[in-house]
Amino acid sequence: MPDLFHFQQELAINVGAPIGKAWKKAKQALFEAKDQDNIPQELEADYSRLDECRNKYRNQMHKINQAIQPFSGDGSFNCIKQIEKTILSCIVAISKQAEQVAREVGTATVTKLLAQIPAILAGIVNWKKWAAQEADKFITQQRIDINEAQLKEWLLHYLVPVFIWELTLRRTPSKKKNKKLIDTYKEILQKARDKLNGSNVNELLNSEQLNNCIEWAKQTARTFQRASSQVEGRNGYLAFVHKANRGMPDQRLQVLTVVHNFDIRSWDGKTPAQRLFKQDFPDLFEFILQNVTGFKEPRRRKVNG
């Protein structure tokens, strides 16, 4: 799958962090100068320049976020060439902002960024092919009395986009810097919902068939992952604990893996094991209570005399 995490991390380290540091320094200097009668014009000009630079950098990062999606705003599949063009133009624009803080995006960084683009594009292409194949399987299994081409079009370009944009919006951190991005996603989501509501296919389905279609669309949308940050977050935590404790027993690592796979739940209430194997598992705590027995009793205190 496309890995947006590493791609944006590379840009943030080489461009975003220096811009943020320079902006913060200029803001502090301007704040301290407010106590004076006359604020030096060069401080105001420097802060305004860096503030504009910071906003342009964020806007370009948001454009990359919006581009790496399987669907466009109208529900059709995104053109891969257009995604690539958008990413490249954003890299160029971000590189220009780096010049504002006397930084240069070196050849090694550019090469590393460009090397990741084919994998990002391939991930989107593969997901679209997989989704189309899964739609064919689902239609065959359900045996819904509707034209197959019409039903497939409705599933892939009316129903799935709604859940794709819902998930994207839910996964976007609600921070002040993401306000424009969140507003854009809300607008796209509303358009997708309006398009779905304007379709008459759902009127041709009974309640059971409609629920099955909705559940299939949710699961299909969830399979599109743009980054590996959740897995890396767990690995990062384990690495931190491992280093802090100067080692970690194998048994504890196995226990943490079981807890991660069978007890930690996502927003939909499902564990990683449920999503992977597509079946329910017993509650981990109740399973332990029922199956783990024979604990040793505490040692009895010796009574003197």
User: What is the rounded average pLDDT of the residues 131-154?
Assistant: 92
**Residues 1-46: tens digit of each pLDDT:** 457 888 888 899 999 999 999 999 999 988 888 776 677 888 889 9
The tens digit of pLDDT for each residue in 85-94 reads 999 999 999 9
pLDDT at 194: 95
pLDDT mean over 154-168: 95
Least confident of 1-5, 59-63, 179-183, 210-214: 1-5
pLDDT tens, position by position, 233-292: 677 777 777 767 677 788 888 888 888 889 988 877 888 888 888 889 999 988 888 887
| Residue 72 pLDDT exceeds 70 | yes
Q: What is the pLDDT of residue 34?
A: 76
- Among the residue ranges 50-59, 188-197, 234-243, 276-285, the one predicted with the least confidence is 234-243
Whether the Cβ atoms of residue 165 and residue 184 lie closer than 8 Å to each other: no
- d(C-alpha 192, C-alpha 286), whole Å: 42
Give the tens place of pLDDT for each residue, 86-136: 999 999 999 999 988 888 888 888 899 999 999 999 999 999 999 999 999
* Contact between 93 and 56 (Cβ < 8 Å): yes
Which residues, in sequence order, are bridge partners of residue 77?
A: 71
pLDDT at 53: 95
- Cα–Cα distance measured from residue 65 to residue 60, given in angstroms and rounded to the nearest whole number: 9
Is pLDDT above 60 for 305? no
Closest CA to 102 of 20, 18, 30: 18
User: How far is Cα 15 from Cα 96, in angstroms, rounded to an integer?
Assistant: 10
Residue 66 has pLDDT above 70, yes or no: yes
Q: How far apart are CA 173 and CA 178, in angstroms?
A: 7
Average pLDDT over residues 172-184: 91
Classify residue 14 by its DSSP letter. Answer: I
